Chain A
Amino acid sequence: MSLREFRADLHIHTCLSPCADAAMRPTAIIEEARRRKLDMVGIADHNSAENVPAMQAAGRAMGVPVLGGMEICSSEEVHVLAFFDDDDALFAMQEIVYDNLIGRNDEAYFGEQRLIDEHDAVIGATDKLLIGATLLGVNDIVGSIRGLGGLAIASHVDREAYGLISQLGFVPQGLLLNALEVSWRCSPADAEAYRGYGLELIRSSDAHYLSDVGRVWTTFRIEAPRIGELAMAFEGREDRRVSI
């Protein structure tokens, strides 16, 4: 295989996230990703990966690779994106999260948390408090993600709400992050300010509505849309590259 460029939006919520629009369903998201000329998408609902298999099935059917992930909220209220190649690792991580997530969702306040199939049909709901914070510290979360072979990326570090730097002042030393994410509101020029930590940057939509999908993206020069390739791009190994 040879290296080629992949346009990626790695931070998309589905209708499982209580704050996301009901229209955020597999074929609709993939259709929008195709319209926006994305070569891969990352699915990251709050503290859950339950809609990932449906998203991956739709992505396979429609020709857009889907990275399965989660956006995990730490006890410090820092959001961390976790991505895995293999569903066993992804759901092992989900189990760790669920074991440390307390409370029940109240749809009237936070919104519905819909489980869907690959054809966009609602097949259930979860009553876990997905919008809540886990009891896990950010160091433990990143350690678990990396231990399971995943990618750990600090979400929207330019934002005050749930951003690593806002919550904890600076990127903690020794935290085994693969990269930092800046939000769609942060221009590539402004993002340069976050390069001082020695980590590569991604820029993503944090889509909660279909019209958000692909509004910004990250370009990877890799062989295939897989975790190991992205990790190499973040380290600049063997000609793999990442740019925002």
Chain B
Amino acid sequence: MRTGEDRLDREVRRGYVSDLLSDVLANCEEGDLWITLQVHPNVVAVASIKGIAAIVLINGREPQEETMEKARQENLPILVSSLSAFDLAGRLYALLGQAGDRR
């Protein structure tokens, strides 16, 4: 847990895995959990615009300081996982099951 500790009450039903922010802008949906390795400050703007529930950085990657500052301003949760994107998404999908399917 890096930022947004008091915003962990949002229900997360689905997730999205992508490191291309243009792709996230095009395809991520409101309320998604976003799994990425990108730590640049732009992730906060993208997550806020899209109404993303939280960002999870994988492989233990730490957000840049400016990213943390912006996330605090936006009250956006950023979490860090030591898992790879594949392992993290797999575990979350197992938890969410078919509810996590888009269609």
Interface residues of A (CB under 8 A from B): 75-76, 137-139, 160, 165-170, 172
Set A75, A167, A170: member contacting B20, Cβ < 8 A: A167
Q: In the complex the two chains form, is B22's CB within 8 Å of A167's CB?
A: yes
A137-B40, A138-B40 known; A168 and B21 CB under 8 Å?
A: yes
Contact residues in B for A169 (Cβ distance below 8 Å)? 21-22, 24-25, 42, 45-46
Q: In the complex the two chains form, is B42's CB within 8 Å of A172's CB?
A: yes
Q: In the complex the two chains form, is B22's CB within 8 Å of A166's CB?
A: yes
Q: In the complex the two chains form, is B64's CB within 8 Å of A137's CB?
A: yes
The listed residue with most B CB atoms (<10 A of its CB), out of A76, A139, A166, is A76
Closest to B23 in A: A166
Contact residues in A for B31 (Cβ distance below 8 Å)? none
Contact residues in A for B40 (Cβ distance below 8 Å)? 76, 137-139, 168, 172
Q: In the complex the two chains form, is B41's CB within 8 Å of A165's CB?
A: no
Between A and B, how many residue pairs show CB distances below 8 Å? 39
Closest to A166 in B: B22
Q: How far is the CB of B55 from chain A (nearest CB, A)?
A: 13
Contact residues in A for B39 (Cβ distance below 8 Å)? 75, 137
- In angstroms, Cα B50 to Cα A170, docked, is 14
Indicate whether B3 reaches chain A with its CB closer than 8 angstroms: no
Set A75, A160, A170: member contacting B42, Cβ < 8 A: A170
Closest to A168 in B: B42
Contact residues in A for B19 (Cβ distance below 8 Å)? 167
Q: How far is the CB of A33 from chain B (nearest CB, A)?
A: 33
Contact residues in B for A166 (Cβ distance below 8 Å)? 20-22
Q: Tell me the chain B residues, 7-21 only, with Cβ under 8 Å from chain A.
A: 19-21
Contact residues in B for A139 (Cβ distance below 8 Å)? 40-41, 64, 66
- In angstroms, Cα B44 to Cα A170, docked, is 12
Q: How far is the CB of A173 from chain B (nearest CB, A)?
A: 8
The listed residue with most A CB atoms (<10 A of its CB), out of B19, B40, B66, is B40
Contact residues in B for A76 (Cβ distance below 8 Å)? 38, 40
- In angstroms, Cα B38 to Cα A138, docked, is 12
